[in-house]
Amino acid sequence: MSIFHSLNTTSSALTTQRLRMDVISSNMANVDTTRGRMVDGEWEPYRRKTVTLQSKGGQFSDMLQLAVGKSKQSSVGSGVRVSRINEDRETPFKSVYDPEHPDANEEGYVQMPNVDPLREMVNLMSATRSYEANVTVFNANKSMLMKALEIGK
């Protein structure tokens, strides 16, 4: 294990939380986008996107083997990564009555994106807090490494 292992682990968390904030920002920016993409010759509203995170290391059993000393695998507990960015296909689009809208159907309803601004703000606050916590961890690690270097003086 390298002296910079903890910094690399924390920086992977910072990177993933930053991407998560970017995806949430994209959702918020497209909250009124009725023409997200073309599907079968018709426009479909923007679909909310979510981020799926995954550990870079192995399973719990791998970490247990490393702790017991039966494994020399150094990639265990190496941080986090984004495994995929998904479209929310389960939440239905919202129907809003607006007969003047160019995308309104025959009854005057417009299909709006499945983005809930309140949910997105809660997710953004969660990602921001996680990012801030990881910055604090990064600075604490950096401070400990600096103190360790001062011991050698």
Evaluate whether residue 100 is within a structural domain.
yes
Evaluate whether residue 14 is within a structural domain.
no
CA 47/CA 60 separation, integer angstroms: 34
Evaluate whether residue 21 is within a structural domain.
no
CA 75/CA 90 separation, integer angstroms: 35
pLDDT of residue 116: 94
Comparing CA positions, the residue from 59, 71, 74, 78 lying closest to residue 7 is: 78
Evaluate whether residue 109 is within a structural domain.
yes
Evaluate whether residue 9 is within a structural domain.
no
Domain hosting 99: range is: 32-47+91-114
CB contact at 8 A, 97 and 108:
yes
pLDDT digit string (tens) for the chain, length 153 residues = 677 888 888 999 999 999 999 999 999 999 999 988 888 888 899 999 999 998 887 666 766 777 777 665 555 567 888 999 999 999 999 999 999 999 999 999 999 999 999 999 999 999 999 999 999 999 999 999 999 888 877
pLDDT of residue 31: 95
* Domain count within the chain: 1
Evaluate whether residue 120 is within a structural domain.
no
CA 141/CA 76 separation, integer angstroms: 19
| Torsion region of 85: left, alpha or beta (phi above 0 gives left; psi -120 to 50 gives alpha) | beta
pLDDT of residue 153: 73
pLDDT of residue 1: 60
Evaluate whether residue 38 is within a structural domain.
yes
Evaluate whether residue 53 is within a structural domain.
no
Does the model's pTM come out above 0.85?
A: no
